[in-house]
Amino acid sequence: MKRTSPLISAEELLALVRSGDPDLRIVDCRWVLGEPGAGATAYAEGHLPGAIHLDVDDDLADAHGYGAPGRHPLPSPADFTARLAQAGIGDTDLVVAYDDAGGWIAARLWWMLDVLGHPAVAVLDGGLGAWLAAGGDMTTEVPDVSPGRLHLATEWSRVIDRDELKARLGAVVLLDARAAPRYRGETEPIDPVAGHIPTARSAAIDDNLVEPAGPFRPAAQLVNHFGELGVDGSTPVVTSCGSGVSALHHALAMRAAGLPDPILYVGSFSDWSRSGEPVAVGPEPGAPPERS
C-alpha cells in the first residue's frame, strides 16, 4: 500500500511497534559528519526496538557511484537494492527511517527509496527525541533479519549533474541547505573553497523545523517558507548542500507541504568547489556565470 505522507508521528510508530506489525522495518540512520563509526556506536548503545542501522558512508553512498566526484555519490540502484534486501527490507514493507538530527540524515534514505519507487517509506517526525517523549522504549538487541525480496527502479531520477546545473543557473530556483555562515563563505570546514554556487539562495534546513532537531513545521507554514525562497510551483527547484545529504531535507519538507518534488544536485558544493567553477560569497545569491 502506498503511503501518502512522508512523515510518521512517534505515536503512530509506537502503535505499530506495539502491535508487532510484521511488515514494519525501522532504520536507524544516525551519523556524524567527520566521525566515522559514530552512528554505529550510538546504535549499539541503544536504538528503537527492531531497528537496523544503515550508515551514510557505508550504505547510502558509494565513492565510485553516480554523481562522483562529490563526497557522497549515490550508489548504483542495483547495489543499493541488494544492500537493503540483505538488511531485510522487502517490497511490501513500511520502512521508517529516523535520526537524532531533525531528519536530515534519515531524509537521504527516504529519498533514495522513494525515488526508486518504493511505495511505503517515511521519516519519524521529531526523530529519536519525539520517540522518547512519546514513551517509546530503547534496546541494545540487534534484530535477526532474513533477506527481503526487493525490486526497485534501475536508474536514479530527479537528479542533476554539474554541467547541466551550470547551464540552467538563473532558470531554476537553487536552494543551498548548508548553514548560513558556510553559504556566505565566512567558514568552510570541509570543502576547498568557501562560498556558494552563484544564484543559490540560503535555505538552512533548521528553518523547516519547529525547533532544531524537532518536528517539521505544519504544511501551511512550509508552503509560506518555501514561497519566500522563490518556490512557487512553476519554476523547477534544485536542492544542494555540501554533499547531497542535507539537501534532501528540503525534498522531504516540500513533499510534506504538498509542493512539487525538487531535483537533487548530487555532488553539491563538494563537487562544485573542486571543479574550478566560480563561487559567490556574501549574503546575496549572485548572478549566473557568463557562458563562454
From-to residues of CATH 3.40.250.10 in the chain: 7-133, 159-272
Q: Please state the separation of Cα 260 from the chain's center in Å.
A: 16
Digit-by-digit pLDDT tens for the chain (292 residues) are 678 899 999 999 999 999 999 999 999 999 998 899 999 999 999 999 999 999 999 999 998 877 667 899 999 999 999 999 999 999 999 999 999 999 999 999 999 999 999 999 999 999 999 999 999 999 999 999 999 999 999 999 999 999 999 999 999 999 999 999 999 999 999 999 999 999 999 999 999 999 999 999 999 999 999 999 999 988 999 999 999 999 999 999 999 999 999 999 999 999 999 999 999 999 999 999 887 6
Superfamily of domain 159-272: Rhodanese-like domain (3.40.250.10)
Whether 29 is catalytic: no
Listed in sequence order, the DSSP H helices in the chain are 10-19, 38-45, 56-59, 77-86, 106-115, 127-133, 162-168, 180-184, 219-228, 247-256, 268-272
Residue 86's SS3 state is helix
Cα 240-242-248 angle, rounded to 5 deg: 45
Evaluate the omega torsion of the peptide bond into residue 119 and state whether it is cis, within 30 degrees of 0.
no
> Catalytic one among 200, 241, 245, 259?
241
- Its CATH class, for the domain covering 7-133, is alpha beta
Distance CA 271, CA 241 (A): 10
Distance CA 220, CA 196 (A): 29
User: The whole model's pTM is what?
Assistant: 0.96
